[in-house]
Chains A and B, each alone.
Chain A
Amino acid sequence: MTTRPRLRLGRHLLPGLVAVGLFVVLAVGVLAAPLGAAAGFPAEGSLAEANVTAELADGGSVDGGSYASEFDGSTTRVTVDRGDGTVAHTLTAADVAAEREGDTTYAVVSVPADGERVGLERIPMVDHGEAAAGPGAQVEGVDRSAEPGPETGVHAVARRGSITETIGYAMFDLRSVQPLPAESFLVVLLLVAVVLDAALEAAVYLARRGDDEVLTAIGRGEEGGEP
């Protein structure tokens, strides 16, 4: 037999009117609010996807334009000219982490562009020092003093920022390597772990029948008979 909840006009009229009234007020308020266009997350084919081929240490060519970078000891200034206007980014050492792939260590820099987010870029480093090895390591600066060559220029743009990846990094406070903007949630993660543990304990406590009995319904009959 199927039972369905019945709507009783007498008792349910006032709560129904309250709920519908609240919805109308909220909907009108939201639709009239000047929210503007959504910033969104990086799309395929943005600068992060461009195929960059290096020619010089301080500059290179990108698809449909040129790429130049200057390092003054603490700040790297990256300029991208794609024919439709020059976009410049200023990076500090705090934005830079290191990543090793094969024999080459790359400086991984986060480049926020105007109006779009481009995730991570990798600039090969001439100095393969120990301090620069490993993801997440802090880099003082990119060494541009060596002779320019294929390995010292802008080698490749790494990847677009992944949403799932960023959430994972944000949960463990790994902001130096997260490709998209997000706050740190390490403390929240630990608190939620404790809360879930407490909830498990509380659920077992509430499901107990007596002081000594633990979950009799599991594995046995309701009255302790055979399963």
Chain B
Amino acid sequence: MVPDAVFPEPLHASRDGSAPVGARAVRECCRLLQTRAGELRRIPAGARVEKLGRFTRRWLDHDYPHRRLATRRIVSATGFSTQVVEEGLDALFRAWSAEAMTALLETEFAGALCTDHAADSNPPEVMVPRLEGGARIVPSRRNRGLTAIPPRLVGHILAGNVHPPALQSLLAALLVGSPSFLKAPSAEPWFATSLVRSLREEVPDLGRFVAVATWPGEQTSCNEVLLHEADIVVAFGSDSTVQEIRRMLPARTRLVVRSHRVSVGYVAREVMTRGQVPEVARAFASDVALFDQQGCLSPHAILVETGGDLEPVEFARELAGRALPGIARVLPPRQLGLAEGADLLQFKGVQSLSGTVLPSAGGAVVVTHAERISAPGPGRTLFVRPVATLEEALAYLGPILDNLQGVAVAAGERRWGEVARCFALSGATRICAPGTLQSPPACWPGDGLRPLGALVRWVSLEPRDSPPGEPSSKR
């Protein structure tokens, strides 16, 4: 079954979910949203934040009907346990509080976002031609005239069955003041649909700037329309998915790519003590448990330094023997089907020829000395790789450095900066503490891109009377 398309009225498209959404309906919907862009910009950023904050707070209530329905459907579509989905939703909506969104706007724009609303900005220094809707662009003093212009329509092509990206992408677009069309993933279309429905109900004056629909991947006509109508396309998915989108995209349309990525952990020798290892292992276990190793922030390998009080294999034993079974009682693992069960058996068998396989709840911990990281197994499976130096760690991670997302670092105060810098320079987009991998803050630049900054166009608004060669002399 496919959820109804949720289009801004007065469009009507297969409300009963029986007929697939057609290219014409998608085009009409996109155009309607574009005409509303000015209207959205006229809502002050502060008001948008307040409304969206109300919306995300609502979703923190486990009994909120939209959340209950979404949880049930995500569980059924993905096989994640209910507890995992609930925990994931809590972390997600907590991170996007009104306070976090205010801070995010301030961090990224420092008042330089064009909102067409005088209340949002400092007194204008520059008068510029009026934009649609009759309001003015008001550049901020603090940004030396640099002003961010939101696109008229953001097309989000969502993928996969891990749900945070849908919310992050939608909220980012609304925060900058852009209407959004979400193409929900066919594997799990329910979360995006529930989000939009609930937005309509909770904050109808923002809900009218958002549409969601899903269609089968082979229905390329709808994709083509969306790619042609949107000013910016945010595309999630594998390299091949993104390549296909790139192929269809008009040359001048900006593409924000959110590709498949992988995360790791790093444990420095100074924390390899009998006192600290259980705590570190517990923290990593929760990173593994949330989304059952299917998220881009899921740690597929933990690099553990040798030379501490305990050996890396003892860390692995703690992880496999206590931490993962412990977290499995709170956040039960996905049930693996026959095919995944077969893959896990094969994976463990092959790994046992060269490493130490420690079976664990819903997967296994493999202590490996392989030169390069290899493909992970299904379920809660990860590698523990003893390393003597950071260089050795980077060499091991070589095949995935281009796709590195988060690195959870457990290190003493003195070493932390060194380890963090090393991974930051090597491709990571997030350095954090173990146990927090799956709850990134709203300001996290996933895939190395600013959540809001990646969406806007920048314009330099210079004083009308600045003399040649001194464009900023008055500031």
Does B associate with A?
A: no
Which residues of chain B have a CB within 8 Å of any CB of chain A? none
Which residues of chain A have a CB within 8 Å of any CB of chain B? none
